Amino acid sequence: MPESRTYGRRRALPARKAEQEGFDAGRSDGTVTRREAITGRVVKTGSGAAQGAGWDDVDKVASAAGGGDLYLKVTENRMVIKILADGPFDVFASHWIDEIEEGSKSVRCWGTPDCPLCAIGDKAKRFSACFDVVSLEDPEFPVLKVWDVGIKIARQLKEIAADAKRGPLNRPDLYFTIRKEQKKKAVEYTLERVKERDLEEEYGVAPLDDEALKQFLAECHNYGDRVKEPLDEEGMEEIVQLLMDDA
């Protein structure tokens, strides 16, 4: 059962159509053909780019735009990011369906009492809060990504957002670092605030200039946009059937 995936401003697409367009948006030839595919775009910063020196950029932009690489991939290496809004644009829970053999096992909960999977007693255990962020993993090539955070990091961010002294999350002089660590039983994430003035010295990262920041802000999601469309009734019914057959 493939999941439906859309990115951007599109809403209320039937799941099957959304799925098709999700594939289009993630085309691996690097062409960006749809509004949704703009996440992952690269804005070149710095004035040092000589004319004709664009071939490195071709590969970098292609790898950022293609391959469905829309989500921020947090690694063991501490990565600098800039959060672009003071809150998540999409928050949802997902059911984890091990019985799904093809495609993602994670199925967005409808979030309403009539969710067919909740109705048969399956609990939506995975929490997601999605933020637009600029990844400065490669400081020369900042990239717009969707950062899908779990409940622990979401709570830390909420605390900072609500704190007049430390927030808001999108304060102009505020950046964050994030990294993950594989502990015995689970993956643990470490989030830290970084002031713009310390970026260069502590991380060798130049802050985003106003122009780059403006371009990224123009490409952000709106509050209420869905990073992943829920399955329609028919799609849910198939999964319910799958679970029933298996039981």
12-18: list long-range contacts, CB under 8 Å, 24+ apart. Answer: 12/229, 13/229, 14/232, 15/229, 15/230, 15/231, 15/232, 15/234, 15/235, 16/232, 16/235, 18/229
- 240 touches Zn ion by CB under 5 A: no
**CA 209-146-101 angle, 5° bins:** 155
What is the Cα–Cα distance from 111 to 229, expressed in whole angstroms? Answer: 12
Of the listed pieces 104-112, 160-168, 174-182, 200-208, which binds Zn ion according to CB under 5 A? 104-112
Per rule CB under 5 A, is residue 191 in the interface with Zn ion?
A: no
Smallest distance, Zn ion to C-beta of residue 226, A: 15
Q: What are the angstrom distances between the C-alpha of 96 and each of 66, 68, 100, 107?
A: 26, 21, 9, 6
Candidate ranges 38-46, 63-71, 109-117, 150-158; the one touching Zn ion (CB under 5 A): 109-117
| Choice from 115, 143, 144, 231 touching Zn ion (CB under 5 A) | 115
Q: Looking at 45-53, 71-79, 120-128, 237-245, which segment touches Zn ion (CB under 5 A)? A: 120-128
Does residue number 109 form part of the binding site for Zn ion (CB under 5 A)?
yes
Smallest separation, CB 168 to Zn ion (Å): 31
**Rounded to the nearest whole angstrom, what is the least distance from the CB of residue 170 to Zn ion in the complex?**
31
Secondary structure (DSSP) of 165-191:
TT--TT-TTEEEEEEEEE-SSSEEEEE
Q: Find the shortest distance in angstroms from Cβ 17 to Zn ion.
A: 22
Using CB under 5 A as the binding criterion, the count of chain residues that bind Zn ion stands at 5
Three-class DSSP category at 19: helix
Q: How far is the CB of 116 from Zn ion (least distance, A)?
A: 7
Per CB under 5 A, 97 contacts Zn ion:
no
Q: Which is nearer to Zn ion, 109 or 154 (CB)?
A: 109
- Helices 15-25 and 233-246 cross at an angle (nearest 10°) of 100
- Which residues of this protein are in contact with Zn ion, per CB under 5 A? 109, 115, 117-118, 124
